[in-house]
Structure formats: structure tokens, C-alpha cells
Amino acid sequence: MRVVNPDAAVENSRSRTLTERIKELSVTSTELIDAAFVMLLGLAALAGLVTTFDTLHFLLVGALGLLLGMLTAHLVLSLRWHWAWIPVILVVWYFLVGSAVAVHEYAFAGFLPTLASLSELARVAVNGWKELVTTLPPVVGDGSYLALPFLLGLLAGALGLVVARRSRRAAPALITPVVLLVVVTLLGTRQTLAPLIQGLGLAALGFGWLAVRNRRRRQLTGTGRSPRAGLLTGAGLLAAALVLGGLFGGLLPGGDTPRWVLREYVRPPVEVKDLSSPLVGFRVYSSQNLNQLWDAELLTVTGVPANSLLRFAVLDDYTGHTWSASGGASAGSGFQRIGARLPGVVDGTPSAVTITFAADYERTRELGPWLPSLGGNTDIDFGGATTRTHLSSLRYNLATGQGLLTEGDRFRDGDVVQLASVPLTSNFDANSQPGGQPSVNPASYSFLATTGQKWGGAATTGAQQVLEIATHLKGGYWSDGTVAGQADYLPGHSQGRLSNFVLGDQLVGSDEQYAATFALLCNQAGFPARVVFGAVVPEGGTIKGQNVSAWVELETEQGWQAIAPQVFIPDRNRTPDQLPQTRSQDKNATNVPPPNSSRVDSNPMDSVENDLNGTKVTNNWWAGFLKVLLAILRVVGPPLAVIVALLTAIAVAKALRRYRRRTSGTASRRVAAAWHDVFDQCRDLGMILSTKGTRLEQSAAIGQPGVRQFAVAVNTATFGPEDPTPAEVTALWTTAAATRKQLLGSLGRWQRLVARFNIRSLLPERLAGIRLPRLNLERPEWMSGSGRRAVPAQSNS
């Protein structure tokens, strides 16, 4: 009997000379033509990202990815390695070269991989797609997002060349470029440069490649024309088709349909409604009696004149309980990441504003994440030690011109923001016309229908009605309910509280009730309106709590207009002359106590209270347990998920391989596959290293009686005078399952688990001869329970 030498494959591989290895890697003219078409088609598809990035660096990085991907495919195909080497090599290219071309700021010396660069590349590969489509284009052209076109280039180059080299037909070669074009279109924007040129270029290259590949398979004979004439005729027809498509393609049905891109449908992952509405805690700033933030310094503003309106938070949605920021009615208008620059077009001349935050602004939980501004911004720049953190967490809403810090970030004491901000105009008059339809749900302000008609007087237009309502509100009285004898004027702006506000004997309230009511009545009059919580900049620019106010912005044909607080809110010295004679006990009114400024930075989970039948129960223990559990999951969860994913992939790969072997091919092939299934099980158990030799030689090297009997049965069925019947095939596969079960049954539970996830049988054949540590089939002493021992693997001799 011939003894199988497990090192034979390795020795044969080593015996090849360097010249033979180089010769295997030589490229033919046909392969060069395919590679050129893959490169050109890939670049034409990647050009669709030209409006997504602010520079053309992405195209160079994508070209490098295409080149490395094709080099990887050529190496694997020429050396006849297993296809599984392609993703392995691509991953190496991604992390090795990606550190230099995409995340060089994290790399050592700008190009050598570091733990930080590898971590950033891994993060972008997983989360970068979502971040890209929720970032306001264009994104920074030399930042981390360059890893995405590099990764697309790697995949498209490798897959494109593999399909082109392994497929005999012409059409399948275009699958990869078309898929790349679809992916790029989904990740891009609706506005792209020269889409006609890109489409025609892709069509010309695609048809040209099809013609070249078809020509290889067929040779026209008996046509009476030379090959050059046929080529010129085809080129002429293609040119004519492209010209006609370019001229008349837009006239066809559906030609004016905008392109479908993900950023128009993916919801930006910012839940603004989870944030507390700063309008609810207004009297914390307005009241001198509460001794909280009335005289506290919040921030300092330079570059704006006194009495300017500085917006803290824009509240554009009313739920019936509170005014809050909606984040936009559609996915594309919500809070998004900012790219290289703000793409919104803001009418007016921007003012250079510098804002320096004080400690008390940080202490206010409801204001901490909001970015103050005069209106729409054209540029935002941070200063201080937290610059990188703020840039990473900043989101911006083009619809409202509002910036917001997310991910728990907030402005700290000493932070500096420099803005190019355009203040809103205040030119609303009786001739103004609405600029759109109100976005607030009409049902939320229907309770004010009678009030709007009453206060609007004899106004004939919506603008006149708005001015009449403002005049009526201006004639009221001001109180935030914190002065002695005025405790009946509660805070809040729910429907119940506003009903009491407009139906009382006197019109008494603070900026909170006046602004909330005025905005709802403006929406009822047909003007889209929103409430702004901000401050009136005093002389010197130092804003304190006493400068905080609320006002309303209306959308007209000329854009959004600011209605200053002094237009519809009475002077704070105009206090009510008498208390209300009757108190309306509205159960829907929201009595919101002022926030405790000494505890605004505490974790809300530390003071969770449940009202159970009037009894307050503090769940500090449960909150602490959840906090510790989440902290552990953040550390252990990602690596554990990776391990589970790898083990699952191994199990699925083996199951699919077994299913394919059992169901594919002729009866003789399925019988032979049954032996391969048992043989691979023995390889995973470490019983045999080499894949060379006959079945009997391999079974002798394994040394298990049941395996040898199965090898004889397979040989009998394979080399018999007639093909195996379906019943014989089924019986042999049943025997194969019993043999595998017998092999695994002789092991302990731990050894069986290790054998199931051993990847030796999945490795390429060239790696089969590498000696790996044998699997110890004997149970450890500490695991011996039943005294059963495994049958030791015999020698290969």
C-alpha cells in the first residue's frame, strides 16, 4: 500500500522555480483588455459621487481600489488558489492601504497603520454608509469617508475581473459595473454633474466590451466583409444610438423622473423629540424670585448689534402638550451631518458671530446641546479642546437653520463657536402672503378656533388677522407665576393651560404662553409659524437668564420672517391688577415645576420615579443595574458578536456544502461526494492531513474501521458495472451520516464542539499539507464523567 505523505504538496510547491512562478502570473492581451474595461467602467460608475464629495480625491482612491482588486483577482486566478483567498486579501488591502489614503490623520507618519486607523476603517466600513447618506453633501473630500469608494473599488475590481475571466459568455461581465452604478447612485445625490455624459459613457463602454467579448467567441464567415468593416459598422451603429439617446432620451416616458437616492428616504438617526423643550422651563430664566438663572451668565456674543434676536432652539411642532423640535416632516429635511460646507442657500449677508459659552449654559440640560445662531448659517467653526467632539456630533437642519449636538455631547464652559449667520428679517406687514402650508396638525390648535375669529376682528386677509391678534395679545398682562399673589398663573403651554390663558378674566401669562398661543393662531390664519426660544442680545453682548425670551417666526413669500417679542408680548412691568375671580380646574393643564439647576447634569436614570397609586417609588437599584449591564455589553458585546458571526458562518458554510454535495450532479458524483463528506469530517478531527491518495489509502491513513468499510462501499457503488440507483445513493448518504455520528460520538462534548467549527476542511487544497496541531480525541481527566474514551487516531504509515 502506498503511504500518503502529508508534506508532498508543500514539497512540490517549493520545488517550483521563481521563473515558473513569474510565468504563471504573466498577463495575456485578452486579460489586459478585460482589465482595462473593468477599470474604465468602474471609474465611470464611481464618477456619480462627484457631487457627494467636495474634491476629486475620491476618484483617485476609487481607481486605486479597482487596481488592487483586479491585481488580487489576477493573483488568485493565475496561481489557481481557492476563491476564499480573494476576500482575505481584499481585507488586507483595505486596512493596509486604507490607512494611508482614507484615514491618514490616524496613521503613524501619515501612512503606517495604527490601532486608531484600523478602528476608524472598521467603523466606516460598518456605519459609514448610513452616515454618508445622512450627511449634508458635499462631504470632506480627504476625510474618513474616502474609505467607502476605496472599498467599492476593491470589490468591483476583484469581482469584475473574476466574472470576466471565468465566464465564457459576454453579458455576465457587465453585471459588476451595473451593480456598482446602482450602489453609487443610491449613495449619491439627486443633483449630479453631467449625468448624460456619464450615462452615455457607460453605455458606450459596455456595448464596446460586449462586442469585443462576442468577437472572441465567434468568427463571422461567408459574409463577404472584412473584420474591419464589421467593426466599423458596429461602431457607427453604436455612435448613432448614443447620439439619438442623448438627444431624445429625455422625451421618453419617465425621462423627467428624478433619480432615486437613499438620502431622500433614510431617516437621519436623531430623535429630536426625545429632548426636553426649553420653552417649558421658561420661568427658570425669567424669574428673579426663584434665584436660579435670572442673573446667571449663559454666554457672550460678539459681532452683533444690541437688541438682535439670538436663537437658541427652533420649535416647529406642537403635539397638544408642548412645542418641540420635530426634526423635519420628511427624512431629507431632518437633522443631518454636515459635510465640507453647508449646502443651503441663505438669502442675505451673513454676519460674523463669535459665541463663548459660560458654565451656566452647560448646566442647563434643555439648552446644552442646541447651537445658538441668528438664523440660517453659511459656516460653522468650533474652537477649544472639544472641537473634534463637537464636529463629530453636530447635526444641522436646513429647514430651520438649527444646529444640534448629539450623542450626549453639549457645549462646555469656555467653548467657542464662530458662525457666519444670516439674521431673519422682520418685514411682516398687512400685504404679506403665506409662503407655504402650515405643517402643524390642525387638530392640535382647533380649540382656539373661536379665539382666532374673535381676536382677528374684521380682518379680511390672513396677514391682517395676524396683526390684529398680535395687537390683542400686546394688550394683556405679564406674569410667570413666581411673584407673591400670582401663583395661580401656572407655567406650561398645553391645550388646557392655553385654554385657561385665552378664556380667563384677564389675559395674563409669560413669554411661554404668549408665544405658544400666537404661533398656533398664526397657523390657523394660514401662515406656517414656529416658536423660537432665544434671547435678546443686550449691550455688551453678555446674555443672562433675564435676557431670555420667546418669539414667533412666520413663513411668507419672501421667506421666514421674525416677529419680535415686543410686537405681541406685553412689557414685563405690565403686571395684572387683580387675580382671576374663578379658577379653571383643567386636568389637562400641565404644571411643570422649574428644573433644579443643581442637578441638571445628573443621569435621568438615577432618579426614575414611578407613580403607583399615589406612592412614589425610587428605582435607583434597578437603574444602577441597567447602567452596569449596558457598560458591560458595550465592551463585551462587539467582540462576542464577531465570534458568534464567525462560528455561524462556518456552520452555515459546512451545511451548504453538504447540501450541495447530496443534491448536485449525477448519481456517481453524489456517491463520491458522500465519501468527501466523511473524509472532511476526519480532516476536521485531525485524523488525516493530506488529501492525496485513493479512498482506500486515505481510509488506511485515518485508521478507523467504520471509515474503511464506508470507503469500500463507495468504491463498490462507483466502479460497479451499472450506475448507482437513487435508493443506493440515499443509503450511502445515510451510512455517511451514521459514520460521522460514530466518529463524533467517541468524543467528549467539548471535542465535538471544536470539531464542528474546525475550518481545516474549508481551507484551500494547497494549505491541506500544512501541519496543524492534532485534535486530542481523549477526554481530559477533569471532564471524564462516564469513563468513555475516544479511539486514538492511528499513524499514516
Amino acid at 701: A
Can the peptide bond before residue 305 be classed as cis, meaning omega within 30 degrees of 0?
A: no
User: Which range scores top for mean pLDDT: 32-46, 657-671, 747-761?
Assistant: 32-46
Determine the pLDDT at residue 315: 93
User: Which range scores top for mean pLDDT: 217-221, 572-576, 665-669?
Assistant: 572-576
pLDDT tens-digit profile of 700-734?
888 888 888 888 888 888 888 888 888 888 888 99
Determine the pLDDT at residue 792: 42
Determine the pLDDT at residue 600: 39
- Measured distance CA(634)–CA(631) in Å, rounded: 5
- Main-chain phi, psi angles of 589, to 5 degrees: -65, 140
591 pLDDT above the threshold of 60 = no
The region of weakest confidence among 77-91, 126-140, 147-161, 453-467 is: 126-140
Q: What is the mean pLDDT of residues 42-52?
A: 90
- Measured distance CA(467)–CA(568) in Å, rounded: 9
Determine the pLDDT at residue 20: 67
According to DSSP, residue 616 is labeled E
pLDDT tens-digit profile of 275-287?
888 999 899 999 9
Whether the Cβ atoms of residue 540 and residue 547 lie closer than 8 Å to each other = no
Q: Under 8 Å CB-to-CB from 403, ≥6 apart: which residues? A: 370, 371, 373, 377, 380, 394, 395, 396, 397
Determine the pLDDT at residue 42: 94
Dihedral angle, C-alpha 717, 719, 723, 729, nearest 10 °: 20
The pLDDT confidence band at residue 586, using thresholds 50, 70 and 90, is: very low
The pLDDT confidence band at residue 520, using thresholds 50, 70 and 90, is: very high
- Measured distance CA(643)–CA(638) in Å, rounded: 9
Q: How far apart are the first and last CA of the chain?
A: 9
Residue 433 to residues 76, 345, 430, 555, 568: CA-CA distances in angstroms? 68, 21, 9, 9, 20
473 pLDDT above the threshold of 60 = yes
Question: Where are the extended beta strands (E) located within 31-176?
Answer: 135-136
Q: What is the mean pLDDT of residues 110-119?
A: 90
Coil, strand or helix at 784: coil
262 versus 770: which is more confidently predicted? 262
338 versus 536: which is more confidently predicted? 536
The pLDDT confidence band at residue 21, using thresholds 50, 70 and 90, is: low
pLDDT tens-digit profile of 9-20?
444 444 456 666
- Measured distance CA(42)–CA(526) in Å, rounded: 51
CB atoms within 10 A of CB 248: 10
Average pLDDT, the chain: 80
Question: Where are the extended beta strands (E) located within 399-540?
Answer: 402-405, 416-423, 477-478, 508-509, 529-536
- Measured distance CA(715)–CA(674) in Å, rounded: 11
640 versus 497: which is more confidently predicted? 497
Determine the pLDDT at residue 335: 82
The region of weakest confidence among 20-29, 498-507, 577-586 is: 577-586
Determine the pLDDT at residue 554: 96
pTM above 0.75, yes or no: no
User: Which range scores top for mean pLDDT: 192-201, 559-568, 686-695?
Assistant: 559-568
Determine the pLDDT at residue 258: 62
User: Which range scores top for mean pLDDT: 57-66, 702-711, 778-787?
Assistant: 57-66
Determine the pLDDT at residue 599: 39
Of the candidates 579, 449, 593, 591, the one whose C-alpha atom is nearest the C-alpha of residue 504 is: 579
As a whole-number percent, the residues of the chain with pLDDT over 70 amount to 78
Task: Please tell me the total number of residues recorded for the chain in this structure.
Answer: 797
> What angle, 0 to 180 degrees and rounded to 10, lies between the N-to-C axes of helices 705-718 and 667-684?
160
pLDDT tens-digit profile of 292-311?
899 999 999 999 999 999 99
37 pLDDT above the threshold of 90 = yes
Determine the pLDDT at residue 340: 76
Q: What is the mean pLDDT of residues 103-110?
A: 88
pLDDT tens-digit profile of 605-664?
333 333 333 334 344 566 667 777 777 777 677 777 778 888 888 888 888 888 888 888
Task: Enter the C-alpha cell of residue 104.
Answer: 491618514
According to DSSP, residue 409 is labeled -
Strand-pair partners of 353: 419
- Dihedral (CA of 118, 122, 127, 129) sign: positive
324 versus 759: which is more confidently predicted? 324
Task: Enter the C-alpha cell of residue 509.
Answer: 401669562
The region of weakest confidence among 401-405, 427-431, 532-536, 663-667 is: 663-667
Q: What is the mean pLDDT of residues 301-324?
A: 93
As a whole-number percent, the residues of the chain with pLDDT over 90 amount to 35
Strand order in the sheet with 336-338: 135-136, 336-338, 394-397, 402-405, 370-371
Whether the Cβ atoms of residue 397 and residue 328 lie closer than 8 Å to each other = yes
The region of weakest confidence among 23-27, 106-110, 527-531 is: 23-27
Of the candidates 456, 577, 447, 455, the one whose C-alpha atom is nearest the C-alpha of residue 505 is: 577
Whether the Cβ atoms of residue 758 and residue 684 lie closer than 8 Å to each other = yes
The region of weakest confidence among 102-116, 177-191, 621-635, 778-792 is: 778-792
Determine the pLDDT at residue 251: 46
The region of weakest confidence among 14-18, 68-72, 301-305, 415-419 is: 14-18
Amino acid at 49: L
- Measured distance CA(696)–CA(298) in Å, rounded: 86
275 versus 452: which is more confidently predicted? 452
The pLDDT confidence band at residue 510, using thresholds 50, 70 and 90, is: very high
Determine the pLDDT at residue 583: 44
The pLDDT confidence band at residue 95, using thresholds 50, 70 and 90, is: very high
pLDDT tens-digit profile of 372-401?
999 988 889 998 788 888 988 898 888 888
545 pLDDT above the threshold of 50 = yes
> What angle, 0 to 180 degrees and rounded to 10, lies between the N-to-C axes of helices 462-474 and 511-524?
160
Amino acid at 100: A
